Structure 1
Amino acid sequence: MADEARSVEPRHGVGPILEPFEDVRRIAVLRGGGLGDLMFAMPAIEALAAAYPDATITLLGSGSHAALLSDRPGPVDEVEVLPVSEGVRPPKDGEAEDDAELERFFARMRERRFDLAVQVHGGGRYSNPFLLRLGARHTVGTQTPDAVELERVLPYLYYQNEFMRSLEVVGLAGAPPVSVEATLHVTAQERRVAADLLGQAEADRPVVGIHPGATDPRRRWPAERFAEVAARALDDGATVVVVGDETDVPAADAIVAQAEHVAPGRVRSLAGKLGLGELCGVLDACSVVVGNDSGPRHLAQAVGTPTVGIYWLGNVINAGALGRARHRVHMSWVTHCPVCGIDVTQVGWTAERCPHDESLVAEVSAAAVYEDVAHLTATSPLPRDT
């Protein structure tokens, strides 16, 4: 951290709140990745918007971030989709990193003349050099020992709640927290679309949402466990809807097939059929959402729906909901790969991931999960925001 930043008398938030920078009119926030990654950054972005009310905020993010935030009220003024860049945005669908495309992107960003650039995308090995190429007057972010330094930095220690990490980073820029978890506005149109998709189900019965997917297969609870939860919910009179993207269709179909006999017609899959706006509307219409550590569970939390999450113990530290009135956490205490026995608590640059994809959360009890589902469905400890 620069000497100037060290000398400031600290105020306290999640971490020290340093003096804000002067004359900040344009802010860039770097946070690529999936929907959950975006949710982790939202409280930090809200803090920046409150600390610098006259500044515009540009999120350097993914295509899914742009689709989700387009025309949605909130602190982000615009989303610039990141080009393919090692450690910042991985290639997909035949893409490859292109030096000319990257230079065009940075030239266009430098024309914006950002006053402040904020890195909340990992430890900085790749993201800090990327951020510096924006040419901003001031930079803040996290730093591993092998990363280049920004103007003001925090050490990146992997096991930390991601909401808190991002809030600590923007504290370096003089932005105290105004919230500690993401809040996402659901539009009236999204609610109408969800009502059409669900018919009268959400008005007549509680709706239990299920999301069986996760980017890392080791975070996926077995489909048969989700099916057991679905069957219990149906038996108690609820309607069940399974959501997810195209990769979740096989698990969703298996859940429906295994639970359908309990109450034919009251369990259905919308996996692979919803845009992000439609997904927000459906999650908002649910009484409770059950899922792995995944983007849709984070979205459900952000729109105000109670959730029951199935987590591996390390992911609870980084991504678990902070409160328990609306959100319940069921945790697997597995610390070694079920196949090869390697220590799975070692992460990133400290140890390579073993090649096995066996679930680390299979031991979590379906009966225990459903107990929380039933409780959150039957008793709303706090009123839903509207």
Structure 2
Amino acid sequence: MAAPSVLGPVGERVPEVARIAVLRANALGDFIFILPALEALRAAYPDAEIVLLGAPWHAKLWRDRPGPVDRVLVIPPAPGIRDPVPDEPPADLAGFLAAARAERFDLALQLHGGGANSNPIVAALGARVTAGLRAEDAPPLDRWLRYVYYQHEVIRYLEAVALVGAPATTITPALPVIDADRVEARKVLGEPTGRRVALHPGATDTRRRWPPERFGEVARALAGDGYEVLVTGTPAEQETVAEVVAAAGVPVRPQVGTLSLGGLAACFEGCSVVISNDTGPLHLAAAVGAPTVGVYWVGNLINGASPLRARHRPIASWTTHCPVCGVDCTPGIYPHRPGSGDCPHRDSFVADVPVIEVVEAARELLAE
């Protein structure tokens, strides 16, 4: 190992690297978390082509966007890698890997979790050197770091790329917003009537959802303060957004599926604060420079909340037992503790967060 950096040991740089593959094919927030790791790779290997092995939405988002990703290869759906999207051709992972081997990658990084499913794929790319994370049930790579669940995701992947001589250059994810994004947002939303705030009440995992009526109370308070309030959501979150709008009881602007991901980035860039559950759009908002108030379950706060407080206020629920059956839901991570980590319930783990805490945090950021 070379001399330690700010974040710990840095491995030897791989010589004569022309092309780097990075596997990270999951959801929006997961991708935002690896942006500092990609920046570290770019700084360490400035002349190499960095190719992201991702999902179709990565290819669309990264088209004509500056940053550390030079190209996206869409990896087929596979267990533990990504789910299929509508109208996608049948998966041909073997064909994809054969084509990827023809690219002659010098370096392949697994930044896709513990590696049980992803390490075999990275190893099959045929790169001169493989590196990344390894849980106990995963096969090794040439250079690997143990995957330990409770660790901030940004730091986790910065440690991983440090294995190949890429020390951290930042710990703050940043996604550039381009003119086309701003044009789209302006076309959909029009010019703001005043300072805008956005609420995003959805989340794929229902345990991370703060109740819609609480978001409605926040919307009513901020609209009363004179802010233009947007309520954003995906088409699958239409019902949740409608519940927030109804609970607000004052004019707010629902935006369900009206913006592309780039357009949403520009929308958030123009907001004075974004208030959200712990979900991809919250991390997108932070990455484009918006102040944020995030509602977090404490375990997710450890892994995903921004450590910075100049522009971000994470509000934590300390619930660790299922609100329905009372079972301790931590033993899946800590197997020696009594209880069961396999509780089937998916009720909110953050419903105990008081509205006043979220409103006060938002008003503090807005005042600043």
TM-score, scaled relative to structure 1: 0.91
Matched, 1:336 2:321: yes
The residue number in structure 1 matching 2:310 is 325
Residue 371 of structure 1 and its aligned partner are, at CA, apart by 0.6
The separation in 1 between residues aligned to 2:90 and 2:187, in whole angstroms, is 42
The separation in 2 between residues aligned to 1:348 and 1:38, in whole angstroms, is 23
Q: Is contact 2:20–2:105 with CA below 8 Å preserved after alignment?
A: yes
Residue 374 of structure 1 and its aligned partner are, at CA, apart by 1.1
Task: State the SS of the aligned residue for 1:163.
Answer: helix
Residue 229 of structure 1 and its aligned partner are, at CA, apart by 0.4
Structure 2 portions without partners, runs of 5+: none
2:197 aligned to which of 208, 228, 232? 208
Describe the shift of the 1:235–1:69 C-alpha distance in structure 2 as closer, same or farther (beyond 3 A): same
Matched, 1:149 2:140: yes
Matched, 1:80 2:73: yes
Describe the shift of the 1:91–1:198 C-alpha distance in structure 2 as closer, same or farther (beyond 3 A): closer
1:1-386 paired onto structure 2 within 5 Å: 8-93=1-86, 98=91, 101-201=92-192, 204-259=193-248, 261-262=249-250, 264=251, 267-347=252-332, 352-379=341-368
The separation in 1 between residues aligned to 2:147 and 2:280, in whole angstroms, is 23
Task: State the SS of the aligned residue for 1:122.
Answer: coil
Residue 228 of structure 1 and its aligned partner are, at CA, apart by 0.4
| Paired residues, number | 364
Residue 339 of structure 1 and its aligned partner are, at CA, apart by 1.1
The separation in 2 between residues aligned to 1:270 and 1:347, in whole angstroms, is 37
Q: Is contact 2:131–2:142 with CA below 8 Å preserved after alignment?
A: yes
Write the deviation string for residues 325-369 of structure 1: whole angstroms up to 9, x where unpaired.
100010000001111222222347956532211000000011110
The separation in 2 between residues aligned to 1:70 and 1:175, in whole angstroms, is 25
- Give me the CA root mean square deviation: 1.7
Q: Is contact 1:84–1:96 with CA below 8 Å preserved after alignment?
A: no
What is the identity, as a one-letter code, of the residue corresponding to 1:173?
Answer: V
The separation in 1 between residues aligned to 2:347 and 2:90, in whole angstroms, is 31
Residue 96 of structure 1 and its aligned partner are, at CA, apart by 9.7
Task: State the SS of the aligned residue for 1:354.
Answer: coil
Q: Is contact 1:13–1:171 with CA below 8 Å preserved after alignment?
A: no
Describe the shift of the 1:198–1:94 C-alpha distance in structure 2 as closer, same or farther (beyond 3 A): closer
What is the percent sequence identity of the aligned residues?
49
Residue 91 of structure 1 and its aligned partner are, at CA, apart by 3.7
The separation in 2 between residues aligned to 1:181 and 1:342, in whole angstroms, is 36
Residue 157 of structure 1 and its aligned partner are, at CA, apart by 0.3
Q: Is contact 2:188–2:258 with CA below 8 Å preserved after alignment?
A: no
Describe the shift of the 1:46–1:229 C-alpha distance in structure 2 as closer, same or farther (beyond 3 A): same
